[in-house]
Chain A
Amino acid sequence: MTIHLDDEHLDDEHLDDEQLSAYLDGQEPGAARHLGTCARCDERLAALRDAAAAIAGRVPGPPAGAEERAVAGALAGAPPASVVHLRRRRPAPWVAAAAAIAALVVGAGAVRLLRGGPSTTTQAARSGRASSALAAGTVLDGGDLGELSDARVLAERLRTGLAEAPVAAQPTAGKTSVPGPAQSTDQQASRASPGAAATVSGSRPPCAAEAQRTYGPPGPLVYTASLRWEGTPAVALVYRAPAEGTRPARSQVLVMARADCRLLVAQLI
């Protein structure tokens, strides 16, 4: 039976776990009247105190490198103040109309491709004349951006490249996309998850697997380019997230050192 702590007849009753636990936390000062006179409650109190001490005991530290990865990953997902002003401006009405017409053209082209028509998109990309007709699921290789050290310049270069990249689409399991030169449509269809898309060049971009595993980018990889960032050979990976409601779509940029896939720059554009 549980003791009511204002009860004067305590001899045949005991404190319950909640009372004893609260007493440990200084919440039940009245329990002291009973404790010290009841071996059973004293023993239970000691057990609860030991449990609390075990929970508070030494906690194993993080594995080596975990803090670096966690902080870098978090910063990669942060909206950096330095690039807030680089958000795309609202397009003029004529631009929106042109985009709508372009979307219709892209749609017609995609239908043609899915029906087995000529794959003009991969040919265009291969020849360096990538067009906006690239289908979702294709990664555009932007070539070499050269030596860079300014995040604003990097953002502008990537925005220019992104204008040629495929339009963001909601990831759909099993969605068919345009196969790369060395891949069949069936192979591609089985790899339609974000970050696992085909590349125009037919090979997986360097550090893409590391970026996917460590930073979990918000959408599919759509663009990649080589560069030297402050002298370090690097690869830029651009992931495009689908638009959410009225919020415009943004792209997550990860620049990683080619040698060890260390994160050099992370920004949203």
Chain B
Amino acid sequence: MAAAGRGDRDALNTLLRRHYRSLHAVCRRLAGNDADAADAAQEALLAIVRGLPGFDQRSRFATWAYRVTVNACLDELRRRSRRPVPVDDTGPVSRVAPTAVDEAVAVRLDIDAALRRLPEEYRAAVVLRDLCGLDYAEIAEVLDIPAGTVRSRIARGRAGVADALGNSAPTPPRPRDTP
């Protein structure tokens, strides 16, 4: 880690490869498709390399890397926001008959579409919590928001996904985005 920060290319190479898959997974969930995820992950690695000399090690490297990745990924997605999305997300999310196609593919399409319907701030919060397993304090640090806001964003994100997947009970009153 220290050697990578000093610009040692072998150490940097090792560090990037060690974290690439987990960072790509974040981008894949945030982007919702393979092509954008690969490009966003590449942008994220570049941002990490450029930001590494300034990393003060007050937080875990992984937490800092998630922060850089989420920002790089969302920036990349915003730049592409006018491009047509590969899966129609204008209508209700429908499951493909499990007898016709691989059930895993159907679920994947569902979760991609469900996440894409969320505002990006909710999407980032639930991905960091449920995919990356960060606790509320770490997510607050990554997204630079109060812990109370993390809690409400996660709730709204999960609720949105639950509703989109169509297996939710009648929805109780929704929390507001409280700090």
Please give the residue numbers on chain A whose beta carbons come within 8 Å of chain B beta carbons, in ascending order. Answer: 1-2, 14-18, 20-22, 24-25, 27, 40-41, 43-44, 46-48, 50-63, 66-67, 69-71, 73-75, 77-82, 84
Which residues in A have their C-beta under 8 angstroms from that of B168?
44, 47
Query: Which residues in B have their C-beta under 8 angstroms from that of A43?
Result: 169
Given contacts A47-B167, A73-B46, contact A62 B38 (CB under 8 A): yes
Nearest-Cβ distance from residue A214 to partner chain B, whole angstroms:
8
Complex CA–CA separation, A231 to B28 (angstroms): 39
* Interchain CA distance A75-B52 in the complex, whole Å: 12
Contact B111 A44 (CB under 8 A): no
User: How far does the alpha carbon of A47 sit from the alpha carbon of B169 in the complex, in Å?
Assistant: 7
Check if B152 is an interface residue, CB within 8 A of chain A. Answer: yes
A interface, by DSSP: helix, strand, loop or mixed? helix
Q: A18 and B7 in contact (CB under 8 A), knowing A1-B173, A67-B17?
A: no
Q: Which residues of B contact A2 (CB under 8 A)?
A: 172-173
- Find out whether the CB atom of B115 lies under 8 angstroms from the CB atom of A66: no
> B38: which of A27, A52, A63, A75 is its contact (CB, 8 Å)?
A63
Q: Which residue of B lies closest to A69 (CB)?
A: B42
The CA of A50 and the CA of B155, in the complex, are separated in Å by: 13
Q: Does chain A have a CB within 8 A of B140?
A: no
Near A by CB (< 8 A), chain B positions 1-28 give 6-9, 12-13, 16-17, 20-21, 24-25, 28
Give the residue of B107, B136, B171, B172 whose beta carbon is less than 8 angstroms from that of A54. B107
- Please measure, in the bound complex, the distance between the C-alpha atom of A14 and the C-alpha atom of B104, giving whole angstroms: 34
Q: Assess whether B41 is in contact with A70, with CB atoms less than 8 Å apart.
A: yes
Q: List 5 A-B contacts (CB under 8 A).
A: A1-B173, A14-B172, A18-B152, A75-B9, A84-B7
B74 on interface, CB distance cutoff 8 Å:
no
Closest A residue, CB atoms, query B173: A16
A61 to chain B, nearest CB (A): 7
The verdict on A55 contacting B159 (CB below 8 Å), with A71-B45, A73-B45 known, is no
Given contacts A40-B170, A62-B37, A82-B9, contact A17 B175 (CB under 8 A): yes
User: Which residues from A are CB-within-8-Å of B29?
Assistant: 55, 59
B95 to chain A, nearest CB (A): 12
The answer to the question of B126 belonging to the interface, with a C-beta cut-off of 8 Å to chain A, is: yes
Most A CB within 10 A of own CB, among B20, B25, B49, B169: B169
A77 touches which of B50, B53, B154 (Cβ 8 Å): B50
Give complex CA distance A57, B111 in Å: 9
Shortest CB distance A268–B (Å) = 10
Q: Looking at the complex, which one of A41, A55, A75 makes contact with B115 (CB distance below 8 Å)? A: A55
